[in-house]
């Protein structure tokens, strides 16, 4: 295949709020000829690409997801026709963004690729909550995971990864929140581990649900509309204690609904 003449930029759109994109990313969008964006990227962010054709591809919680191989092909084709091709992804491209598949396909086709990092959702959630993920002396490790319940993938045991970290952010996890909680408790995590489920971090529609892990394992389905993540760790103890004063509840308690704060 003849190498394309253009360059493809894999660009992080940030966590949601349009002004949480980087200056570099905004400048690239302004001069892009074509932009392939995740369906979940904010319309005002896509609108920064004033001179570009914009194409929604992939990743809306399973629906309307364009096959990865087809996205790769469109990027390669676009690089042959345009100078500046932007692949705009929610959050950061290199963290749960399937960027490697696109990078490998582009390089294999002789297309130059550059990656522009972005603010990842967990950091936006932490900022909105006003709770730092690390604390001097008591929280020195943070794990970002996409847990899968009940599959046989090659990746390491995510429960051990979460349990051994001082704080964890579980991406694309809220749909399986109950199963995840049950699995973590079965693996030895304390039922009073503080949990915050954050939906639409950084957007005006952001919600948070705070509860101890034991309750998450017994809660009904969380009423979530958009992408959500589960944060857990001792750093959230004060946040959870404000809503659940007796957060060291036992398993004898009645089963409440998850409380939205």
Active site residues: 38, 59, 172
Structure tokens at 112: 């130059």
Sole binder of a copy of itself in the list 8, 41, 75, 158 (CB under 8 A): 158
Report which of 190, 184, 180 is spatially closest to residue 237, judged by C-alpha positions: 190
Phi-psi region of 238 (alpha: psi -120 to 50; beta: other; left: phi over 0): alpha
CB of 120 to a copy of itself, least distance (A): 7
Instruction: Please give the size of the binding site for a copy of itself, defined by CB under 8 A.
Output: 69
Least separation in angstroms between CB 191 and a copy of itself: 18
> Contact between 145 and a copy of itself (CB under 8 A)?
yes
For a copy of itself, the closer CB: 239 or 258: 239
User: What is the separation, in whole angstroms, between the first and last Cα of the chain?
Assistant: 55
Which of 13, 32, 142, 181 contacts a copy of itself by CB under 8 A? 142
Binding segment for a copy of itself (CB under 8 A), chosen from 35-43, 156-164, 210-218, 241-249, is: 156-164
Q: 92-112 as b/e, with b when 16 or more CB fall inside 10 Å?
A: bbbbbbebeebbebbeebebe
Indicate whether 227 belongs to the interface with a copy of itself (CB under 8 A).
no
CB of 145 to a copy of itself, least distance (A): 4
Residue number, 173 or 219, with CB nearest to a copy of itself? 173
The closest alpha carbon to 241, from 220, 197, 210, 208, belongs to 210
Among 119, 185, 231, 258, contact with a copy of itself (rule: CB under 8 A)? 119
CA distance 110 to 104: 10
Q: Confirm or reject binding of residue 93 to a copy of itself (CB under 8 A).
A: yes
Tell me if 17 contacts a copy of itself by CB under 8 A.
yes
Closest of 57, 90, 61 to residue 72, by C-alpha: 57
Residue selected from 3, 5, 19, 51 as contacting a copy of itself according to rule CB under 8 A:
19
Whole-angstrom CA distances from 247 to 63, 112, 144, 210, 260 are 37, 52, 24, 11, 16
Asked if 147 interacts with a copy of itself (CB under 8 A), we say yes
What is the enclosing helix (H) or strand (E) of 78? helix 68-81
CB 199 within 8 A of CB 180: no
Which residues of this protein are in contact with a copy of itself, per CB under 8 A? 12, 14-15, 17-24, 26-27, 92-101, 103, 113, 115-120, 123-124, 126-128, 130-148, 153-158, 160-161, 163-166, 202, 235
């Amino acid at each position: 295949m003849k190498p394309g003449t253009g360059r493809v930029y894999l660009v992080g759109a940030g966590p949601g709020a349009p002004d949480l994109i980087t200056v570099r990313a905004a400048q690239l969008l302004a001069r892009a000829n074509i932009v392939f964006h995740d369906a979940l990227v904010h319309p005002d962010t896509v609108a920064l690409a004033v001179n570009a054709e914009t194409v929604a591809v992939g990743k809306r919680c399973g629906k309307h997801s364009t096959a990865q191989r087809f996205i790769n092909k469109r990027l390669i084709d676009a690089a042959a026709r345009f100078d500046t091709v932007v692949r705009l992804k929610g959050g950061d491209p290199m963290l749960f963004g399937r960027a490697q598949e696109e990078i490998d396909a582009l390089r294999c086709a002789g297309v130059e690729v550059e990656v522009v990092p972005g603010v990842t959702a967990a950091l936006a959630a932490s900022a909105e909550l006003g709770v730092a993920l690390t604390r001097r002396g008591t929280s020195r490790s943070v794990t970002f995971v996409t847990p899968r319940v009940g599959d046989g993938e090659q990746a390491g045991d995510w429960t051990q990864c979460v349990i051994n970290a001082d704080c964890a952010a579980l991406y694309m996890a809220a749909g399986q929140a109950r199963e995840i909680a049950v699995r973590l408790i079965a693996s030895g995590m304390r039922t009073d581990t503080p949990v915050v489920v954050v939906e639409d971090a950084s957007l005006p529609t952001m919600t948070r649900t705070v509860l101890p892990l034991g309750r998450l394992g017994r809660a009904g389905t969380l009423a979530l509309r958009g992408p959500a993540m589960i944060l857990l760790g001792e750093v959230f103890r004060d946040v959870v204690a404000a809503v659940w004063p007796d957060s060291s509840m036992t398993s004898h308690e009645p089963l409440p609904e998850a409380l939205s704060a």
